[in-house]
Chains A and B, each alone.
Chain A
Amino acid sequence: MLNIGYLTLISIVVGFVGSLTGLGGASILIPLLVLMGIPVKEAIACGMVAIIATSSGSASSYVKDRITNIRVAMFLEVFTICGAIAGATITTIIHPVYLYFFFAAFLLTSFLKIKSKDLDYREPQHQDRVSRWLGLKGSYYDEYSRKVIEYKADHAIQGGLGMLVAGLAAGMLGIGAGAFKVTVQENILKLPPKVSSTTSNFIIGMTALAGVSVYIFSGLLNLTLMAPMAIGTTVGAFMGGRILNKISDKVLRILFFLIVAYLIAQMVYKGVTAL
């Protein structure tokens, strides 16, 4: 039977695997909690709190290393928080059965991460007026190529609208929607992959706060779920981050495919049986 001790251990494993695969803890943990009989809305609400913990842990080092672009993050947060508040409000209102299918559908966007190729970043020649006005540019030291990478953002408003959708899904499903956020930043805002993923990580914490602000008094935040989830996923993510570079990409991709496929199948099954 599930208790705080087991949930802490499960959360450590999930935080570890989520960190290795880039899925994050909540997208794996929420379907597992549902499988173990926790009501889907409660699992989603508590997942948002765990996201704040893992985001704070990883974002702190990326911000210190100047890889995260905080101006880009703060501009995009304007959009994600509005989406997250709307999404969380929808979740508190709609019938839970729809959430299983929305969750499964949004998990498909995780595959976007695999499609992106690690090509050398080329700074775009063009920068739109809004991005220029907001000063959305920066630089970071890339340890792999051992050089300073200069970059500037493009299509600020379109990127913001993409983040509105990401925030909506995040607030509604209790997940970080990291893969979607990274895709928007890489493909619309034309930011380098490392800046995209670290800035996304930073934004996820604020998006989760916006979602939690709705859930906090909806009677869905269970202390005996949130505490082990927050402790476990943080410890697991910390451990995963330490060994990430020691595991081959092939193993990570197989692991990623297996987990996402299982989670999608499980949420669809839950949804169908709940109809």
Chain B
Amino acid sequence: MNFNNLGSGDSGLENGISYLLVAGLIISLVLEITGVALLYLNNHSLEISQDPSMFIRGNDFFTFFIQQLRGENSHGIALRLMTLGIIVLILTPFIRLVMSVVYFGWEKNIKYVLITFFVLVVITISLVLH
């Protein structure tokens, strides 16, 4: 059965999104599992903690992301990996959005460029300003 003619007719984008979602999820879960394992090895405890270091905090998501990559304001490798896992999870639908804007731009589909760009702008503003 040839699936390429089915769906909404955007098979290139559909394939790309499918691979992106799987890749994002796998990378995120690997980071999370490794982080939790290291946390246990370091602390010999897996308690649900209300310590301030366990909470994600910052003023701008993208600056926060770069800080985590550089290891700034980090509370050890275990928490850093767990934070990066959550960041990858959050970035996956965001990248899907960027990919959609580029795809519809490439296809010169102005209507969907505007629709996806609107969503991208709103999400970006929300990630930057909150």
Contact = CB atoms under 8 A, between A and B. Distances in A.
Given A3-B48, A227-B32, A138 B56 contact: no
B97 interface: yes
B119 A224 contact: no
Contacts, number: 194
B69 interface: no
A111 interface: no
Given A140-B6, A234-B29, A133 B56 contact: no
A226 B86 contact: yes
A257 interface: no
Interface residues of B, number: 66
B48 A74 contact: no
Contact of A224 (B21, B28, B47): B47
Contact of A66 (B14, B33, B85, B92): B14
Interface stretch (A24-32, A54-62, A247-255): A54-62
Contacts of B17: 60, 63, 70
B127 A7 contact: no
Interface of A: 1-5, 7-8, 38, 49, 52-53, 55-57, 59-61, 63-72, 74-75, 77-78, 81-82, 85, 133-135, 137-141, 148, 205-206, 208-210, 212-214, 216-228, 230-231, 234
30 contacts: A4-B46, A8-B36, A38-B48, A52-B92, A53-B28, A56-B21, A57-B22, A60-B21, A63-B21, A65-B3, A71-B112, A74-B100, A78-B118, A139-B7, A141-B6, A148-B6, A205-B21, A205-B96, A206-B96, A209-B123, A216-B61, A217-B61, A219-B57, A221-B56, A223-B55, A223-B79, A223-B82, A226-B82, A226-B86, A230-B89
